[in-house]
Chains A and B, each alone.
Chain A
Amino acid sequence: MTIRIVIVLLVGVFAGNLMPLEFAEKLNSISFILLCFILFFAGLTIGYTGDIKSHVRGIGLDLVMVPISTIIGTFLGSYIASFIIGLDYLECLLVGSGFGWYSLSAVMIAEYDQALGAVSFMSNVFREILALMFIPLVAKYIGFNEAVTLGGATSGDTTMPPLSKTTDTRTVIIAFFSGIVFAFVVPVSVEFLIALKYK
């Protein structure tokens, strides 16, 4: 999926370079409708997952604290990064607030700032790649709960395979629940930060 997305993005960049500006702007205006459909289907998928309660019973505080640690750590890391790369801290928080969900956050940001949208897309793809590369190492040398935090919003889908391979059932359930939490957290936090920055 990631490779296909990168290819489609590159095709889009190439097409955008060639097509008349007017047509490109018209095309841009449909992104909000597409976003709404994607969120609707994401919600539908969560609803169909079945009895979430029975899966999460008995795990305790870790279930909530792992995604909360990811949120705090991501915002703290993004804030510190703003001093190194010379971007405004709110812009860095916006990029970080995608938590790896590049197909959603980058497009939401690009509606206001194309360049920051591009940074957001790349940053969230990098996060997924870093997660896929380092989950096995973090799980082995640091801890299972810590390994879940790498993927952020992707911990319930694309970064699940290395998690299920290198951790245990309990951690896989935490990762799955974390993915659900981020499905709600990402659109809300991105929109909130957009409101702070641009509105």
Chain B
Amino acid sequence: MSGIIIYALIMVVGTWLGVKGVLKNKLLSKLPIIQEILILLLIFVMGVGIGKDENIMKYIFSLGVKAFVIAFFAVVFSIVIAHIYVKISRKFKGNK
């Protein structure tokens, strides 16, 4: 649970420093590149973790199907809930 606090704190400190404008423009322009390098490093490390695990490699196809089903249902129900909200809010606005 302490992870939540650490992650939230890091984000808040980052945002606060951003609002305060502590970085110089030169470094600011390099921010997207730094972020991309960090993300690619992280993904590489994760790939290593998957590659060394023989079980995952054996079941990669069935894991992919499960992944797709979750993504599909998540997207469909996000649309459905947003649509219900839109309908209700329009009705409410109409009655005003």
Contacts and interface: CB of A to CB of B under 8 A. Distances in A.
Partners in one complex: yes
Nearest to B65: A85
The B interface, classified by DSSP as helix, strand, loop or mixed, is: helix
Interface residues of B, number: 70
- Count chain B CB atoms within 10 A of each CB in A9, A47, A119 and give the residue with the most: A47
Given A47-B16, A73-B77, A121-B46, A114 B53 contact: yes
Interface string A12-39: 1111111101001101101100111111
A120 B67 CA distance: 7
Interface string B73-85: 1111111111111
The A interface, classified by DSSP as helix, strand, loop or mixed, is: helix
12 contacts: A12-B48, A43-B13, A43-B14, A44-B23, A73-B82, A85-B69, A103-B43, A120-B67, A138-B79, A146-B86, A148-B82, A191-B7
Interface of B: 1, 3-4, 6-8, 10-21, 23, 28, 31, 34-36, 38-53, 55-57, 59-60, 63-86, 89
Interface of A: 1, 4-5, 8-19, 21, 24-25, 27-28, 30-31, 34-49, 61-62, 65-66, 69-70, 72-74, 76-78, 80-81, 84-85, 87, 92, 95-96, 103, 106-107, 110, 114-115, 117-124, 126-127, 130-131, 134, 138, 142-143, 145-146, 148-150, 152, 183-184, 187-188, 191-192, 194-195, 199
